[in-house]
C-alpha cells in the first residue's frame, strides 16, 4: 500500500546522471536513423494527398476576363 503512495515523478527532479559515451552514441545514432527513415518516407509518400486533392478540386469561381 505504501508503494502506491510514492510518486515516481518526484524522482525525476533529482540530479541527472551522466550517461556512458558509448550508450549516448548508440542512442543518438538510432535517433538519426529513425529521423532519416521518417524523412525518406515523407519524401516519397507525403505529398500524394496534396496531389490528389489538387486534381479533384473544382474551380468554383467563374472565369474572369481581363
At 18 the pLDDT is 86
How far apart, in whole angstroms, are the C-alpha atoms of residue 32 and residue 22? 15
At 46 the pLDDT is 67
At 58 the pLDDT is 76
Q: Which three cell numbers stand for residue 61?
A: 469561381
How far apart, in whole angstroms, are the C-alpha atoms of residue 61 and residue 4? 64
At 45 the pLDDT is 79
The pLDDT tens digits along the chain (66 residues) read 566 678 877 777 767 778 899 999 999 999 999 999 999 988 887 677 777 888 888 766 666 665
How far separated are the first and last CA of the chain, in Å rounded? 80
Amino acid at each position: 500500500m505504501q508503494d502506491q503512495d510514492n510518486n515516481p515523478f518526484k524522482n525525476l527532479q533529482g540530479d541527472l546522471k551522466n550517461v556512458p559515451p558509448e550508450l549516448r552514441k548508440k542512442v543518438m545514432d538510432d535517433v538519426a536513423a529513425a529521423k532519416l527513415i521518417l524523412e525518406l518516407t515523407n519524401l516519397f509518400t507525403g505529398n500524394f494527398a496534396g496531389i490528389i486533392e489538387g486534381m479533384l478540386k473544382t474551380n468554383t469561381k467563374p472565369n474572369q476576363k481581363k
